[in-house]
Amino acid sequence: MSPIIPVLEPDCQVKSWKILLKQAISDPHHLLSSLGLGSHPLAEQVVTQSNFRMRVPQPFIDKMGYGDPNDPLLLQVLPVNQEAQVVEGFSQDPLAEFSDEADKQPGILHKYQGRILVLLAQACAVNCRYCFRRHFPYHDHAAKSDQLEQIYDYLTRNDEISEVILSGGDPLIVSDHYFQGFVNRIESIPNIKRLRIHTRLPVVIPQRITERLCQILAQSRLSTSMVLHINHANEIDQLLSSYIKKLRSSGVTMFNQAVLLAGVNDSLAALSDLFEKGFEAGIIPYYLHFLDPVEGAAHFRVDKTTALSLVKELRNNLPGYLVPRLAQEIAGEKSKTVLA
């Protein structure tokens, strides 16, 4: 028995996802050498110290190509020199979330009618370099367990809210026990009809989809959906597909949101593959996000003309239900802005 294995619930799947999470790789040299890359042309001075460190779990690394410095999964997680560039229009808080008055209460973002984001967790299993919340002060904003009562109270008082969207951080980073407590509590609020989980965790650690999680979702009176975050077809493998099947047989509707990223998925071929392969795995494309202008991510930018023409080409090539909405979040708007 390895001494690092903590005593957990008697469910070996729970053990394994927590261990995979704990053992996520945070040293870029280690990642590169495990892929047979001694160095990387975009990361000569590899950044190991930063407030947004590299973090990537092994199951995601297993989906990267060996020896390929341009691997589309690697590029999403490797800190590169270009992050230090100062680019006009790219800021720390592009969506004005830090001090948004919509953030009426810690742990929630209530910007859109009928739906509320609950920031259940402070961290993610993976640190995506383009993340619009890469500078987000989760310490001040994620719901601490003693603030949950205030959140339940808010949901009860604002009875036009019918959907709770769990976001983060990554909401599935919490234990099944904690998750169940939350779900059971919101089930007791009559106006709440739907539960949506925005998560990337199953993509980077498919073992997160435990039997218990499936049971909680299957038994809930709420209509449940999960919005995964997959940007490239190579992220969808047999392992992930098998867990998605379990979620679907537990009555969960599966969607995907992707971010349009230069060098990762900004071609007709890459996007078509993503949406077709996703559908084979049981996932309906929901949003394709236009990159939010967050500091450190400017090298992922695709200009709007290119984005619009890509979506037009997709429409000519795929059935309508496989073409997501190209969307942008504009601070202060009442919904996401659909560009195409």
Ligand X SMILES: *Cc1c(COP(=O)(O)O)cnc(C)c1O
Coil, helix or strand at residue 222:
coil
The residue (of 126 and 314) whose beta carbon lies closer to ligand SF4 is 126
User: Which tokens in the block code for residue 214?
Assistant: 């499936």
The residue (of 41 and 114) whose beta carbon lies closer to ligand X is 114
User: Which tokens in the block code for residue 162?
Assistant: 């019918």
The b-or-e profile of 56-72 (16+ CB within 10 A means b, else e) is bbebbbebbeeeebebb
Among 35, 37, 120, 128, binds ligand SF4 (CB under 6 A): 128
Among 18, 40, 63, 111, binds ligand X (CB under 6 A): 111
Q: Which DSSP helix (H) or strand (E) runs through 186?
A: helix 176-187
Q: Verify binding: residue 196, ligand SF4, rule CB under 6 A.
A: no
User: Distance between CA 175 and CA 224 in Å, rounded?
Assistant: 18
Q: Which DSSP helix (H) or strand (E) runs through 147?
A: none
Q: What angle do CA 196, 134, 161 make, to 5 degrees?
A: 25
The residue (of 24 and 323) whose beta carbon lies closer to ligand X is 323
Taking residues 217 to 256 in sequence order and writing x for each that binds ligand SF4 by CB under 6 A, - otherwise, the string is: ------------x---------------------------
Alpha helices, H only, 68-113? 74-77
Q: Which residue has the tokens 């008055």?
A: 101
Q: Verify binding: residue 135, ligand X, rule CB under 6 A.
A: no
The amino acid occupying position 315 is R
- Out of ligand X, ligand SF4, none, which partner does residue 131 contact, by CB within 5 to 8 A per kind? ligand SF4
- Out of ligand SF4, ligand X, none, which partner does residue 336 contact, by CB within 5 to 8 A per kind? ligand X
Q: CB of 133: closest distance to ligand SF4 in angstroms?
A: 5
Among 46, 95, 116, 124, binds ligand SF4 (CB under 6 A): 124
Report the DSSP beta bridge partners of residue 108: 118
Which residues lie near ligand X (CB under 6 A)? Answer: 109, 111-112, 115, 117, 165, 329, 335-336
Q: Which residues bind ligand SF4 (CB under 6 A)?
A: 124, 126-128, 131, 133, 168, 170, 200, 229
